[in-house]
């Protein structure tokens, strides 16, 4: 063992140590170019450059940091959205308190001199009196992580600012989601009652502006008769986004022996309803300035969003629908029911005729 | 005879010059310096430090050119330039982003049918890159043939190279042509290629149930096993000279004899120094052939390997199979969903 033989490994180790020592300097240089959205820190070290602080939650999710590339999809169909560019990061933003009030464009119910204690210009939250309204406002402050000055002109709280108009839109959307989608879904998921409802915090989680984590929605791929492998790649990316948004894998909804033909699984009805809901939200309730709402917006990586308003139990166990084929989530649907022996119609030739067969069904005679 | 000086001043007879030294294998012609093999470039240099520290011989050079070799290198660098251009276009020219997103950049094939893509962005980059790299590989195959011809060898090396070329040809060319669209071929890219493997398997109903895929897996495992066995055997008996395989093929010495006895006592039969290399050629050739058949069989045998497996008794049916999904188009008269256990219509 001569010293010359050690030279090779020593050189390699020296290079690694040098690079490791250089790393914090490289991070500092990169940190200056990272977009900061919502005023949050993007992340300390180079090892975590693919990790970004989720705004308002303090948790880390695996999202690549996009830097000076403002186009969000250089890689076609990939689900990662990334942070919002700084010119859009603050959103509609705090209201300019020094702006002159122009009452010619306001509704008639807005008073020229605001007197606290009375309710003016309320169109969605009509059922609240003044105290209740102020309570709702307090909830908005907490759920969105903003102060009154973000939406209101404090000289006249009834004055309609652009932010107030957007908030009104959001309130209408929330009410519509709860009435049209969340409540009726109870019939589809009988074993777990939907004990909560969607509120401001479900999506906003303490920030007025939310990052788009997966900029691909699956609704456009429902009934998509793809012809090529490349087209199926888009479907796969959408499904991957759904799976990551819910914090599950493919087996939660599918039987991976065959995605294509084994598609009549009990869970697909619920999944389809959710896809249509997301599509309705995106096109019907939100203006184009709002970036796309996806599964992640509400679910935030949980199968059961823990930020549901009045959630009864955030430990609610949500089991995989695909791995429990004997639970009939779609009663009366002859396709979704797999012909389980507990059903009233046992089918022949599958596992009732040859229950112990090793190599599979008898095959075509 | 006696030596004398002739009228021209030349000494005749006497001690004669020795016959010329026989040339080493493939040494240049001493008279005019021409190379019997063709042009070889590069003065060889040695790095003695690497002799025992790296798994290759310490001499680098010479490098044999050849018409096909020059063409191959030219096509390869042209393809490399196209590839670099396509990748830089994806990251908007920022080189640091190219390295950061190296695994994410991908070059997609064109949508639509066969034929030239209308623009670079819509698939032209892919066509250029794949075309140039394919030409480079084919020229390299020609170089292999040419090189073996010069050495007057049997062309088993290029024959072995043909197998993966056919496989890649099936993936990038024959299968897309039969399907009528370039979009069936893989995109170029680290994750992109892996995505294609995943999507291809999903689209064709789970490749695990493709019998050619199963054959290929068996061949792959067999190849790995044989390589490990042969390499281990030779290295283990190298002290007794079994690694001089060419000499051992002509006449067996103790190293090879002991290696063969080991296997005979282990499994009852053994290979010879030559035949083991025939095995080691045949298994990867079988692997490539299986892969070629497995890619070409898509669309010819079936549209969905899981359903094929159910129909042919390979896999158990787990739930109702919807065969209209396989056809990928809505039907005027919809097919009834096929319940498990019932025969196919």
Mean pLDDT of B165-178: 96
Task: Kindly tell me if the per-residue pLDDT of A210 is higher than 90.
Answer: no
Task: Kindly tell me if the per-residue pLDDT of B48 is higher than 60.
Answer: yes
Tell me which of B106, B199, B206 to substitute to probe the interface with A (most A C-beta atoms closer than 10 Å).
B199
Contact A349 B340 (CB under 8 A): yes
From B284's Cα to the closest Cα of chain A, the distance in A is 27
**Cβ-Cβ contacts under 8 Å, B314 against chain A:** 359-360
Q: What is the pLDDT of residue A187?
A: 52
User: Contact, B209 vs B315, CB < 8 A?
Assistant: yes
**Cβ-Cβ contacts under 8 Å, A243 against chain B:** none
B91: pLDDT confidence band, cut at 50, 70 and 90? confident
At what angle are helices B156-169 and B275-296 packed, to 10 degrees? 20
From B211's Cα to the closest Cα of chain A, the distance in A is 15
Q: What is the pLDDT of residue B324?
A: 61
Task: Kindly tell me if the per-residue pLDDT of B339 is higher than 70.
Answer: no
User: Contact, A40 vs A34, CB < 8 A?
Assistant: no
Both structure tokens of B65: 């050119």
**Cβ-Cβ contacts under 8 Å, A363 against chain B:** 310-313
Least confident of A2-16, B78-92, B216-230: A2-16
Q: What is the pLDDT of residue A88?
A: 58
Q: Which of A68, A232, A359 sits opposite B313 (nearest CB)?
A: A359
Give yes or no for B169 touching A (CB within 8 A).
Answer: no
From A294's Cα to the closest Cα of chain B, the distance in A is 22
Q: What is the pLDDT of residue B329?
A: 52
Task: Kindly tell me if the per-residue pLDDT of B23 is higher than 60.
Answer: yes
Compute the mean pLDDT over every residue in chain B, rounded to the nearest whole number. Answer: 87
Residue of B nearest to A257 (CA): B206
From B321's Cα to the closest Cα of chain A, the distance in A is 5
User: Contact, A258 vs B307, CB < 8 A?
Assistant: yes
The residue among B143 and A80 whose pLDDT is bigger is B143
User: Contact, A349 vs B343, CB < 8 A?
Assistant: no
Q: Which pairing describes strands B45-46 and B40-41: parallel, antiparallel, or unpaired?
A: unpaired
Both structure tokens of B155: 């062309």
Q: Which of B199, B311, B329 sits opposite A229 (nearest CB)?
A: B199
Question: Structural domain boundaries of chain A?
Answer: 3-89
The residue among B111 and A213 whose pLDDT is bigger is B111
Q: Which residues contact B252 (CB under 8 A, 6 or more apart)?
A: B273
Highest-scoring range by mean pLDDT, A107-121, A128-142, B132-146: B132-146
pLDDT, tens only, B261-273: 999 999 999 999 9
The gap from C-alpha A185 to its chain's centroid, in whole angstroms, comes to 18
From A29's Cα to the closest Cα of chain B, the distance in A is 12
C-alpha pair distances (Å), A90 with each of A37, A53, A205, A269, A345: 7, 16, 16, 38, 59
Contact A364 B344 (CB under 8 A): yes
**Cβ-Cβ contacts under 8 Å, B325 against chain A:** 260-261, 263
3-state secondary structure A36-54: CCCCCCCCCCHHHCCEEEC
Q: Which helix (H) or strand (E) holds A269?
A: helix A268-280
User: Contact, B141 vs A260, CB < 8 A?
Assistant: no
Q: What is the pLDDT of residue A346?
A: 38
**Cβ-Cβ contacts under 8 Å, B307 against chain A:** 258, 261
Using CB atoms within 10 A of its CB, is residue A105 exposed (0-12), middle (13-18) or buried (19+)? exposed
pLDDT, tens only, A235-277: 888 888 888 888 888 888 787 888 887 765 545 567 777 888 8
The residue among B295 and A36 whose pLDDT is bigger is B295
What residue ranges in chain A does DSSP mark as E strands? 51-53, 60-62, 80-82, 212-214
Q: How far apart are CA B140 and CA B71, in angstroms?
A: 8
Q: What is the pLDDT of residue B80?
A: 97
What's the alpha-carbon Rg for chain A, to the nearest Å?
A: 27
The gap from C-alpha A30 to its chain's centroid, in whole angstroms, comes to 28
Q: Which residues pair with B64 in a beta bridge?
A: B40
Both structure tokens of A167: 């908030």
Least confident of A159-173, A222-236, B115-129: A222-236
Q: How far apart are CA B212 and CA B226, in angstroms?
A: 21
Token pair 């005019």 is at which residue? B32
Task: Kindly tell me if the per-residue pLDDT of B219 is higher than 70.
Answer: yes
Q: What is the pLDDT of residue A331?
A: 41
Q: How far apart are CA B56 and CA B215, in angstroms?
A: 33
Handedness of CA A98, A100, A105, A106 (dihedral sign): positive
**Cβ-Cβ contacts under 8 Å, A69 against chain B:** 91-92, 94, 97
Q: How far apart are CA A280 and CA A286, in angstroms?
A: 9
Q: The pTM is what?
A: 0.72
Q: How far apart are CA B63 and CA B40, in angstroms?
A: 6
User: Contact, A340 vs A326, CB < 8 A?
Assistant: yes
A9: pLDDT confidence band, cut at 50, 70 and 90? confident
Q: What is the pLDDT of residue A31?
A: 54
Q: Which of B318, B320, B328 sits opposite A257 (nearest CB)?
A: B318
Both structure tokens of A279: 């599509």
Q: Which of B91, B184, B315 sits opposite A360 (nearest CB)?
A: B315
Task: Kindly tell me if the per-residue pLDDT of A359 is higher than 80.
Answer: no
| Torsion angles phi and psi, residue B48, rounded to 5 | -60, -30
C-alpha pair distances (Å), A227 with each of A95, B109, B307: 50, 14, 18
pLDDT, tens only, A150-205: 999 999 999 999 889 888 888 888 887 777 666 655 555 444 444 557 888 888 88
B120-127 CB contacts, 8 Å cutoff, 24+ apart: B120/B86, B121/B89, B123/B182, B125/B82, B125/B85, B125/B86, B125/B89, B126/B86, B126/B182, B126/B187, B126/B188, B127/B182
Contact A75 B317 (CB under 8 A): no
DSSP at A76: T
Q: Which of B183, B307, B322 sits opposite A264 (nearest CB)?
A: B322
ω into residue B231 within 30 of 0, thus cis? Answer: no
b/e burial code for range B200-221 (CB count within 10 A of at least 16 → b): bbbbbbbbbbbbbbebbeebbe
Q: Give the CA dihedral B171, A224, A182, A237, nearest 10 degrees.
A: 20
> Residue A240, SS3?
helix
Q: Which helix (H) or strand (E) holds B11?
A: strand B11-12
Q: Which of B108, B316, B318 sits opposite A262 (nearest CB)?
A: B318
Give yes or no for B202 touching A (CB within 8 A).
Answer: yes
Task: Kindly tell me if the per-residue pLDDT of B338 is higher than 90.
Answer: no
The residue among B100 and A316 whose pLDDT is bigger is B100
Give yes or no for B312 touching A (CB within 8 A).
Answer: yes
Q: How far apart are CA A314 and CA A304, in angstroms?
A: 7
Going along chain B from its start, the domains and CATH numbers come out as 63-203 (1.20.85.10), 211-316 (1.20.85.10)
From A217's Cα to the closest Cα of chain B, the distance in A is 18
Q: What is the pLDDT of residue A85?
A: 56
Closest CA to A75 of A239, A215, A221, A225: A215
Least confident of A97-106, A192-201, B130-139, B311-320: A192-201
Enter the ipTM.
Answer: 0.79
Mean pLDDT of B1-12: 90
Q: How far apart are CA A247 and CA A8, in angstroms?
A: 45
Give yes or no for B314 touching A (CB within 8 A).
Answer: yes
3-state secondary structure B228-268: HHHHHHHHHCHHHCCCCHHHHHHCCCHHHHHHHHHHHHHHC
From A64's Cα to the closest Cα of chain B, the distance in A is 9
Contact B91 A263 (CB under 8 A): no
The residue among B207 and A189 whose pLDDT is bigger is B207
pLDDT, tens only, A119-134: 999 988 888 889 888 8
Q: How far apart are CA B328 and CA B77, in angstroms?
A: 41
Highest-scoring range by mean pLDDT, A187-196, A205-214, A317-326, B170-179: B170-179
Mean pLDDT of B19-48: 81
> Residue B188, SS3?
strand
Q: How far apart are CA B62 and CA B42, in angstroms?
A: 5
Both structure tokens of A28: 């500092």
Q: Which of A8, A71, A361 sits opposite B313 (nearest CB)?
A: A361
Give alpha helix (H) positions in chain B.
50-53, 67-90, 95-100, 125-151, 156-169, 175-179, 190-203, 211-236, 245-250, 254-267, 275-296, 305-311, 324-327
Give yes or no for B326 touching A (CB within 8 A).
Answer: yes
Question: How many CB atoms sit inside 10 A of residue A12's CB?
Answer: 10
B187: pLDDT confidence band, cut at 50, 70 and 90? very high
A363: pLDDT confidence band, cut at 50, 70 and 90? very low
For chains A and B, count residue pairs whose Cβ atoms are closer than 8 Å.
Answer: 157
Question: How many CB atoms sit inside 10 A of residue B328's CB?
Answer: 13
Contact A75 B105 (CB under 8 A): yes
Contact B322 A261 (CB under 8 A): yes
Q: What is the pLDDT of residue B342?
A: 40
DSSP at A309: B
Handedness of CA B295, B300, B306, B310 (dihedral sign): negative
Compute the mean pLDDT over every residue in chain A, rounded to the nearest whole number. Answer: 67
Q: What is the pLDDT of residue B344?
A: 37
The residue among A50 and A157 whose pLDDT is bigger is A157
User: Contact, B341 vs B321, CB < 8 A?
Assistant: no
pLDDT, tens only, B303-335: 889 989 988 888 887 766 766 655 555 545 544
Contact B340 A339 (CB under 8 A): yes
């Amino acid at each position: 063992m001569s010293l010359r033989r050690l030279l090779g490994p020593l050189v390699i180790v020296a290079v690694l140590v040098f690079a490791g020592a250089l790393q914090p300097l490289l991070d500092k240089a990169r940190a200056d170019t990272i977009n900061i959205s919502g005023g949050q820190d993007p992340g300390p070290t180079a090892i975590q450059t693919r990790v970004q602080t989720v705004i308002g939650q303090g948790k880390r999710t695996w999202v690549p940091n996009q830097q000076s590339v403002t186009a969000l999809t250089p890689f076609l169909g990939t689900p990662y959205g990334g942070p919002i560019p700084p010119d859009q990061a603050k959103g509609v933003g705090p209201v300019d308190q020094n702006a002159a009030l122009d009452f010619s464009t306001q509704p008639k119910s807005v008073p020229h001199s605001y007197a606290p204690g009375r309710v003016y210009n309320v169109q969605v939250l009509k059922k609240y009196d003044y105290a209740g309204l102020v309570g709702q406002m307090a909830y908005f402050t907490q759920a969105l992580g903003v102060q009154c000055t973000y939406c209101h002109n404090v000289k006249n709280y009834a004055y309609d600012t652009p932010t107030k108009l957007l908030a009104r839109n959001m309130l209408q959307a929330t009410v519509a989601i709860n009435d049209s989608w969340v409540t009726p879904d109870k019939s589809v998921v009988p074993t777990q009652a939907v004990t909560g409802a969607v509120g401001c915090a479900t999506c906003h989680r303490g920030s007025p502006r939310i990052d788009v984590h997966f900029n691909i929605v699956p609704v456009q791929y429902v009934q998509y008769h793809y012809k090529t492998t490349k087209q199926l790649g888009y479907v796969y990316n959408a499904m991957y986004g759904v799976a990551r948004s819910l914090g599950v894998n493919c087996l939660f909804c599918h039987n991976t022996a065959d995605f294509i033909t084994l598609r009549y699984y009990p869970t697909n009805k619920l999944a389809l309803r959710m896809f249509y809901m997301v599509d309705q939200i995106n096109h019907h309730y939100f203006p184009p300035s709002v970036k796309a709402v996806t599964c992640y917006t509400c679910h935030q990586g949980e199968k059961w969003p823990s930020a549901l308003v009045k959630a009864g139990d955030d430990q609610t166990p949500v089991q995989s629908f695909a791995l429990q084929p004997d639970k009939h989530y779609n009663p009366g649907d002859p396709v979704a029911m797999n012909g389980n022996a507990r059903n009233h119609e046992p089918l022949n030739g599958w596992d009732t005729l040859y229950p112990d067969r090793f190599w599979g069904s008898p095959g075509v005679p | 005879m006696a030596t004398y000086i002739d009228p021209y001043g030349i000494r005749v007879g006497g001690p004669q010059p020795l016959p010329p030294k026989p040339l080493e294998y493939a040494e240049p012609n001493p008279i005019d310096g021409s190379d019997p093999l063709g042009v070889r470039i590069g003065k060889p240099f040695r790095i003695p430090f690497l002799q025992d520290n790296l798994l290759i011989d310490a001499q680098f050079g010479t490098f044999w050119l050849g018409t096909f070799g020059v063409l191959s290198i030219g096509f390869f660098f042209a393809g490399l330039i196209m590839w670099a251009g396509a990748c830089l276009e994806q990251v908007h020219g920022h080189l640091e982003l190219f390295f950061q997103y190296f695994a994410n950049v991908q070059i997609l094939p064109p949508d639509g049918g066969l034929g030239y893509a209308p623009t670079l962005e819509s698939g032209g980059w892919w066509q250029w890159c794949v075309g140039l790299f394919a030409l480079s590989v084919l020229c390299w195959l020609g170089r292999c043939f040419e090189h073996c011809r010069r050495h007057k060898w049997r062309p088993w090396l290029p024959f072995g190279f043909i197998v993966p070329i056919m496989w890649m040809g099936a993936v990038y060319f024959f299968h897309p042509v039969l399907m009528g669209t370039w979009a069936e071929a893989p995109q170029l890219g680290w994750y992109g290629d892996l995505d294609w493997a995943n999507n291809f398997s999903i689209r064709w109903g789970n490749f695990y149930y493709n019998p050619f895929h199963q054959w290929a897996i068996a061949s792959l495992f067999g190849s790995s096993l044989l390589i490990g066995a042969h390499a281990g055997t030779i290295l283990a008996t190298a002290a007794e000279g079994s690694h001089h395989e060419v000499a051992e093929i002509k006449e067996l010495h103790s190293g090879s004899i002991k290696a063969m006895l080991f296997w005979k006592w282990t499994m009852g039969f053994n290979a010879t120094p030559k035949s083991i290399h025939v095995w080691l050629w045949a298994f990867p050739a079988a692997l490539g052939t299986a892969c070629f058949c497995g890619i070409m069989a898509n669309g010819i045998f079936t549209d969905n390997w899981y359903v094929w497996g159910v129909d042919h008794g390979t896999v158990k049916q787990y739930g109702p199979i919807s065969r209209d999904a396989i056809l990928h188009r809505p039907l005027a008269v919809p097919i009834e969903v096929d319940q498990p256990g019932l025969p196919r219509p």
